[in-house]
Amino acid sequence: MSLFLRPAPALEPYTEAFWRACRAGRLEFTRCVPCGWFIHPSRPICPRCRGRDLTVAAVSGRARLYSYTINHQRWFPGQPVPYVIGLVELVEQPGLRLTTNIVNCPLDRIAIDMPLRVVFEVVNDDIALPLFEPAEAP
């Protein structure tokens, strides 16, 4: 039995909406109303046009795998390994990326550029983590 649990994010002013949306089964990002730019991690200003009129907008949850690593090291006692850390790019905007885990995919089928879709892993009453699985059954 591990003395440690999977580390979880805190709810902070600019990230709380992101984690709560995931808990409700939606992938949402802060979006600039004037220029339409998705802003992640969320900030109180659009770094592209410096607009201050921001909203929250859902995305499709479709992505491509930009890079990945298969982690073999136990970073805390009892941590299950190996697991795949993926850097995924959402289809809605170049460079709109999440570091995540690639799940429901054999390790030897992981490949850069593979199409992915979001799934959510519930952490607690407030938070779920957005993970990604192959968009087509492997």
Partner 1 sequence: MSDKPERGAIISGVAQSAIGRRLFRTDLDLTCEAALAAIADAGLRPEDIDGIAAYPGPTAAPAGFAGPGVYEVQESLGVDLHWHLSGLEGPAQISPIIHAMLAVAGGLCRHALVYRTVTEATAAADTGRLGIGAGSHEIRGFGAFLIPFGAMSAANWLALYARRHMHEFGTRREHLGLIATTARRHAAFNPKAIYREPMSMADYLAARMVSDPFGLYDCDAPCDGSTAVIVSTADAAHDLPHRPVRFEAVGTAMRARPSWDQWEDITTMAARDAAAHMWTRTDLRPADVDTAQLYDGFSFLTLAWIEALGFCGRGESGPFVENGRIELGGALPLNTWGGQLSGGRLHGFGFVAEACRQLRGECDARQVADCEVAVVGVGGGPVAGCMLLTR
| Residue 24 binding partner 1, by CB under 8 A | no
Q: Which residues of 80-102 are buried (b: 16+ CB within 10 A; e: fewer)?
A: eeeebebbbbbebbeebbbebbb
| Sites for partner 1 among residues 81-110 (CB under 8 A) | 83, 85, 87, 95, 97-101
Shortest spacing between CB 53 and partner 1, in angstroms: 22
Shortest spacing between CB 127 and partner 1, in angstroms: 9
Beta bridge partners of 87: 67, 99
- Binding-residue pattern over the window 41 to 80 for partner 1, x denoting contact by CB under 8 A: x------------------------xxxxxxxx-xx--x-
Sheet holding 38-39, edge to edge: 38-39, 28-32, 54-58
3-state secondary structure of 21: helix
Beta bridge partners of 90: 63
| Residue 8 binding partner 1, by CB under 8 A | yes
Q: What is the dihedral of CA 76, 114, 118, 45, to 10 degrees?
A: 90
| Residue 30 binding partner 1, by CB under 8 A | no
Out of 57, 123, 126, 133, name the contact with partner 1 by CB under 8 A. 123
* Residues near partner 1 (CB under 8 A), total: 36
Q: What is the dihedral of CA 122, 128, 132, 135, to 10 degrees?
A: 80
* Interface positions with partner 1 (CB under 8 A): 3-10, 12, 15, 40-41, 66-73, 75-76, 79, 83, 85, 87, 95, 97-101, 112, 123, 129, 131
